[in-house]
Structures are given as structure tokens and as C-alpha cells.
Amino acid sequence: MSRNSEIALCVEQALDRYFKDLDGEQPNDVYGMVLRQIERPMLESVLRRTRGNQTQAAEILGINRNTLRRKLSEHGLI
């Protein structure tokens, strides 16, 4: 199993638990919820890997450095 598949499997399993825990209640904004839950730990992990180098982190993430700075600010990481 590739690393990408492992991440997808973790997300799928977490969503399965989430829907089960709803116990019939109607979910809403699942897309936004998932993005909010994964974005901060992903940013933190990549920043640790690059020892805080935002240019390298942006390259690893495949986003513009300005976008990275905005996301870091949104999450209170800078």
C-alpha cells in the first residue's frame, strides 16, 4: 500500500467513525470540517521537517509561499 493510500484510508476510517457517531443526525459541512482538521497538523509536520523554512515547506506542500504564510497565520502558527 502506498503512503498516499494509507492517508486516504485513515481519512476514510475517521469519516466512517464520524458518521457512525452521528447516530442518524444529518451531517453538514463535512468538506470544510475535514480540511480544518487536517490542515493544521499537516502544516506543523511539514514545518518541523523543514526546520521552519517556509520556502521549503511551500515547495513540499505544492503551494505558493504567500499562501503558506496566510494559512500559518489562520492557524496561529506565526
Quick: pLDDT tens for 26-70: 999 999 999 999 999 999 999 999 999 999 999 999 999 999 999
Whether the full predicted model's pTM is greater than 0.85, yes or no, is: no
All structural domains of the chain with their residue ranges: 3-74
What's the CATH number of domain 3-74, 1.10.10.10, 1.10.10.60, 1.20.1250.20, 2.40.50.100? Answer: 1.10.10.60
Please give the average per-residue pLDDT across 13-34, as a whole number. Answer: 94
d(CA 76, CA 25): 32
Q: What is the pLDDT of residue 24?
A: 86
Distances 78 to 14, 43, 54, 66, 75 between C-alpha atoms, Å: 29, 11, 11, 13, 8
Based on DSSP, count helices (H) and strands (E) in the chain, helices before strands.
4, 0
32-36 CB contacts, 8 Å cutoff, 24+ apart = none
Residue type, 67: T
Q: What is the pLDDT of residue 1?
A: 60
